[in-house]
Every structure is written in C-alpha cells, then in structure tokens.
A and B are shown apart, each in its own frame.
Chain A
Amino acid sequence: MKGSIIINKELCKECHLCIYACPRGCISPTREYNSRGYHPVCQNKNNECTGCTLCAVMCPEVAIEVYRE
C-alpha cells in the first residue's frame, strides 16, 4: 500500500518531530524559508511513504495531511 503526504510549508515550525517519527526516513529538512522565517521540512523524492500517519500524529502544527492509495 502506497501513501503520500502533503506538508503545509507555511504552518511548519521546523521542530523536526515528523523526521524523528517517520520509520522510513521519508521527510528531510530544507534550507528554504517560509513567510515566518522557519525552514520547513519536505518529503523526499525517492518516496517510500506507506501512509502510516505517524508524522501527522506527531506534528504539533497539524501541517501534514496524509493520503493512501
């Protein structure tokens, strides 16, 4: 089962709890800025996301939406 996530970069506050929560290492930090001066995280290109929702469960800002095929 494949999944995908959509990260709302404007809400991200760079706490990196999603990176710590993801069992497959699908999320990485970036160097770009959002309008409030944080470096939002992004989903990796070689995506092994299963849609387990652990990143979204952990995200304090409710910035992650999870989809499953």
Chain B
Amino acid sequence: MSKKVFSRPRSLKEAVFHYCPGCGHSIAHRLVAEVIDELDIRSRVIGIPPAGCAVLAYNYFDVDMIEAQHGRGPATATGIKRARPDSIVFSYQGDGDLAAIGIAESLHAANRGENITVIFINNACYGMTGGQMAPTTMLQQRTTTTPSGRNNILDGYPVKVSEIFSRLPGVTYLERVTVNSPAGVNKTKKAIKKAFRCQIDGLGFSLIEILSPCPTNWKLSPVDSCKWIDDVMSKEFPLGVFKDNTGAGKKTGEAAP
C-alpha cells in the first residue's frame, strides 16, 4: 500500500492559479497554506491580499481574506489585530505594494511593533502592470521603463527593505529567503512558520522577504530565472536572518528594548 507523502494543502482551494508559468507567487501561496495547516490555525487566520499580481489571492486561500487599499495591508492588519486580538493576521505584499506606495504604512506598522506577519514578495519589478521599474529594481537591470538599465543618477538606488526594517526596534523577526530551489523553498517554509509562530506567541512584528522569480518580466525561462536569482539577485539582496528577537520573550507595555 503506497502512502501519500505530498498533496495540496487543505487551506488552498482547488482553483487554478492565474500566475504565469514558473511564478514564485504560487509557491509562496502554497507554503503559507501548508504552514496554516501545520499550525492548525485555519479558523483564526485573516489574510490581506495586496494590489499587484497577488490581488486575487482570496480566490486561492481557503481562509478569511480582506482586500486592502494599495499598499495599506499593514494598516488594515493593525486594525484587524487590535479589534480581534485572538486572530492570526498576515499581510501578503509585493514590492510595488510594500516598498513603493505602502512604505509609510509598512514602516510605521513595523516601528509600532504590531503583532502581525508580513509576507513580502520581492521580484525586482512591477509584475502586474508589465514589468516597470520598482523601488527594488537593481542598478543596470533592464525593465520596460529603464530600457538601458537602472541608472542611479536618474532613478536612485534599490530599496533594501530587510536592511531598513531590521534597524527598527519594533521588529521581532525578519528574514530574507528565496524560492528558486527545493532547498530554498524548504527554508522559506521554515521562515514563514517561524514568523507565524512569532505572532501566535505574541512576540511582535515579523516580516519574511521572499526573492521570487518573475520569468515573464525578466524575459527569461523559469529555470533561467531561478539561476538568475542565485547569480545576480541574491548578490544585491543577500539572504539570511536580519533580526531574530523571538528568544527575548514577550514585549510588555513599556519595556521595548
């Protein structure tokens, strides 16, 4: 009798993803759903999809979802978490959503140390609108609005969200991972699980930045996109744990370090 060792998680609906072939969003969706299943928190989870490619995430997650205004995921999550402290709230955001229009809301939610989890998908371009330059686009990277490569004099430098947020005292757990290989996917799942665990234990703000392939807008095949993350992107955005205060214990009213 053969035993089933891998199948679709229960928190993921039977719907077919609308994402392009090889997109990292689908992998991140599955990992979040697996973590929700494994922690057995499906009835308590409230998710917040972004504006961007993942705007239809509520079609795929079989948990409660509330669509936020563009970039305002952490602000909406703050409200939900404060109104219903027993719920588990996660905001799922892309780089245009979190690092461009929503940087203020995200930064201040992190700075307040709200007890929420943010899943941040970094694909170095605006995916849904056709691959324009995003704040996270790397120098010399070609996009539809920087056809000769991003120029630091005209366009500035890439925004490194994990590095910036790790300086904020309100942040408890922050890690940058990637989904370009089976090892990376397993590591990402562990990171997401730790972030949710951090929220369940009431330890504070957690953010997981996922370097995610965007084969369509990078004009590469899915397999080449995965290699490009290893060769180019993870050099500019180094992987690893940027902050981990989960061992420090629960934050009290005035004793924030």
Contact = CB atoms under 8 A, between A and B. Distances in A.
**Do A and B truly interact?**
yes
Interface of A: 3-4, 10-11, 13-17, 20-21, 36, 38, 51, 53-54, 56-58, 60-62, 64-69
A66 B21 contact: no
Contact of B2 (A36, A62, A68): A68
Q: Which of the four size classes fits the interface of chain B?
A: 20 to 34
B27 A66 contact: no
Contacts, number: 77
A68 B27 CA distance: 23
B8 A62 contact: yes
A60 B4 contact: no
A60 B6 contact: no
Interface of B: 2-9, 12, 16-17, 19-27, 30, 181-182, 185-186, 215, 221-223, 226
User: B8, B23, B27, B182: which has the most chain A beta carbons within 10 Å?
Assistant: B182
9 contacts: A3-B2, A15-B22, A17-B226, A20-B223, A21-B182, A54-B182, A62-B26, A65-B8, A69-B2
B226 A20 contact: yes
